[in-house]
Chain A
Amino acid sequence: MTKEIEKAGITIVQMANLIPVAKTVGSNRMVPTISIPYPLGDPSSPKEVQFKLRYHRVGVALDALTTDIKEQTVFKVKI
């Protein structure tokens, strides 16, 4: 899906847990998430901590959209 949307000329970033899979199927901009059932917020942590993580990683994704890349790139996250 990512590829088809990018093919249409839309700048897209994929947030995924299984980065190697995203890479294999051809995503160009990728940001890692923390798990499969809860990509952006660990339910065992408090709501504020979950939001902080989600806010951070979505921010990395937005920055990825504004970053010029020459090849498939996995953007680094801090939390």
Chain B
Amino acid sequence: MKKAILYINQFFGQIGGEEMADHAPEIREGLVGPAMELQKQLGDEYQVTHTIICGDNFMGSRQEEAIKTILGFLEGKEFDIFFAGPAFRAGRYGSACGNICKAVKEKFNVPVITSMNEENPGVEMFKKDMYIFKGGASAASMRKDVAAMAKFAIKLMNGEELLSAEEEGYFGRGIRKQVYLNPPVNAADRVINMLLKKIRGEKFQSELPIPPSDLVPIAPAISPDELSKIKVAMVTSGGIVPVGNPDRIQSASATKWGKYDISELDDLVEGEYMTIHAGFDPAAANADPDVIVPLDALRAYEKEGKIGGVYKYFYATVGTGTTQAEAARMGREIAAELVADGVKAVILTST
């Protein structure tokens, strides 16, 4: 009998939604939520002995403490393999799964497996460190995603021959492994085949794919003197909008953004502005929207002369479940407006 332990967040741990995202880590004997499906998929030769539950915000904001506590829970427990998630497209959850898997692997030296959607930022952060299976966008694919993790876990534990990341269904870890082709084709033939395909305009796969580096050139610093003369613009993915949400920006998976005139305001106040972001408890931001769009602080710097002013609009959208492609498009659209109006400095707040 092999033993497994699963990590899940407060939502899948059936503790609660965003209002419980600060839930401290806990460990329970037996199966909670997705652990039941995992047990079913692993079969009789495995026992999922414990489920660990931790709020996404707790792991996000008090990461060291969370990891230390969870590693403490695991101390002295027998387990052969560790799972986390699936996290689907939930960014904080993906990041949490990655962090805990990495820590467990380092401390206990057991295989760790998780699952995330390709749009989950956790993939880029952790794919080099662990097996992250390519999961669906939402909990609708729970069964499928759990099955993929379980199937691979069994293969791994049985010492069966493992295929490439692509074939197994996880994100490549950037590890090069020597493989023998069956039937064998020597390198000269392979390269000529590739070249012929290239000439014919057909698709071909390099044997040494190099992931593109995705950093943008660093924009130059603004001198303090210049800063004291120019207007600083604010952009947020925290969903702050005038009450009533005039542009009907979606609360999740947003495809729209809005701009709101703040030229006459010194402060964003309750009842006039609010957040429509569905990815966190809105109570604090609704009570004081400046916690996300810090207009009052910027006005203070304007009075002191540190900045020339605050740009007349702030820009807002919602960054939860939003695909990177949509976020990039909205970013480009906002950038185009700012450039057209000569804005040189931006503070972007994200939640």
Contact = CB atoms under 8 A, between A and B. Distances in A.
A74 interface: no
Nearest to B287: A43
B348 A5 contact: yes
Residue among B222, B343, B348 facing the most chain A CB atoms (10 A cut-off): B348
A66 B222 contact: yes
B345 A16 contact: no
B216 A36 contact: no
Interface stretch (B149-157, B159-167, B189-197, B300-308): B300-308
B285 A11 contact: no
Given A9-B219, A28-B218, A37-B281, A14 B348 contact: yes
A25 B350 CA distance: 12
Contacts of B214: 3, 26
B121 A58 contact: no
Interface in A1-56: 1-18, 20-22, 24-26, 28-29, 33-41, 43, 47, 50-51, 54-55
Contact of A12 (B91, B124, B346): B346
Given A18-B92, A62-B306, A7 B216 contact: yes
Nearest to B350: A16
**What's the interface size class on B, roughly?**
35 or more
Contacts, number: 198
Interface string B289-312: 011101011101100001100000
A43 B293 CA distance: 15
Interface in B277-291: 279-285, 287-288, 290-291
Interface in B289-344: 290-292, 294, 296-298, 300-301, 306-307, 317, 319, 324, 327-328, 330-332, 334-336, 338-339, 343-344
Contacts of B307: 62
A65 B350 contact: no
B125 interface: yes
Contacts of B328: 1, 3-4
Contact of A35 (B57, B294, B298, B319): B57
Contacts of B227: 62, 65-66
B240 to A, nearest CB: 11
Interface of B: 18, 21, 57, 60-61, 91-92, 95, 121, 124-125, 214-224, 227, 232, 235, 237-238, 279-285, 287-288, 290-292, 294, 296-298, 300-301, 306-307, 317, 319, 324, 327-328, 330-332, 334-336, 338-339, 343-351
5 contacts: A5-B338, A11-B222, A37-B57, A54-B297, A70-B218
Interface of A: 1-18, 20-22, 24-26, 28-29, 33-41, 43, 47, 50-51, 54-55, 58-59, 61-62, 65-72
Given A5-B331, A40-B349, 17 more contacts: A1-B317, A4-B328, A4-B334, A5-B348, A7-B335, A10-B344, A12-B348, A17-B61, A18-B95, A21-B125, A25-B324, A39-B291, A39-B349, A41-B284, A43-B287, A50-B291, A71-B218
